[in-house]
Amino acid sequence: MQTLSKLLVLLAIVAISGCATPKTLFCQSPEYELAVYMYLKEDPNLDEQIDLMNAYFEEAESNNQRVAPGAYAHMAMLYAAKGEDISVKKYLDLEKSAFPESAHYIDYLANLGKSRSAKNEGTSNEATSNTTYKNTQSSQEK
């Protein structure tokens, strides 16, 4: 009988604790979800997405919560699409400091972005050279 009452008390404790609201590790906000959704849907309004991300960061800070892994990297990606390299570096550094385990991957992405920029600059220089060459030829023919 005594074992049965102990079992019932134990079951009651488990049932009550199972219904407790778990504390979330990261800020959960509709702004972040909407910004990611808009990016994935290729919404051209980057400024609106950046505003949503800033609202998310402010909400997390005001609630003393951490931002979700990848949130700073997502913001960096938005700034990269706008060509704002200083902001890209700032948010990639924030991602690495908030989530040190991501440092290797973030460094990889940063280096990938640099190599693509260099490649694009080379391509645009070639295009400019070709256009200049063609313009020179056509003016000589006249």
Closest CA to 93 of 116, 82, 109, 81: 109
**Token couple for 72:** 């700073």
Q: Which two tokens stand for residue 87?
A: 């902001």
Greater confidence (21 vs 5) lies with 5
Distances (CA, A) of 41 to 20, 36, 37, 83, 121: 37, 9, 6, 20, 28
Segment 87-109, tens digit of pLDDT:
999 999 999 999 999 999 999 98
More confident residue, 70 or 110: 70
Q: Six-digit token pair at 132? A: 């200049």
> Residues of the chain with pLDDT > 70: what percent?
67
pLDDT interval class at 62 (50, 70, 90): very high
Of the listed ranges 5-9, 31-35, 138-142, the least confidently predicted one is 138-142
Q: Sorting pLDDT into bands at 50, 70 and 90, what band is 12?
A: low
Say if residue 35 is exposed, middle or buried (CB neighbours under 10 Å; 0-12, 13-18, 19+): buried
CB-count burial class (<10 Å; 0-12, 13-18, 19+) for 72: buried
Q: Would you state the pLDDT for residue 21?
A: 54
Task: For the domain covering 25-111, report its CATH number.
Answer: 1.25.40
Cβ count within 10 A of residue 43: 13
Give the CB-side neighbour count of residue 78, counting CA atoms within 13 A. 26
Query: Phi and psi (nearest 5°) for 43?
Result: -65, 125
Confidence of residue 43 (pLDDT cuts 50, 70, 90): confident
* pLDDT recorded at residue 23: 64
pLDDT band at 110 (very low <50, low <70, confident <90, very high): confident
* Closest CA relative to residue 98, chosen from 49, 47, 25: 25
Note the pLDDT of residue 77.
92
- pLDDT score of 87: 94
Q: In this model, does residue 118 exceed pLDDT 60?
A: yes
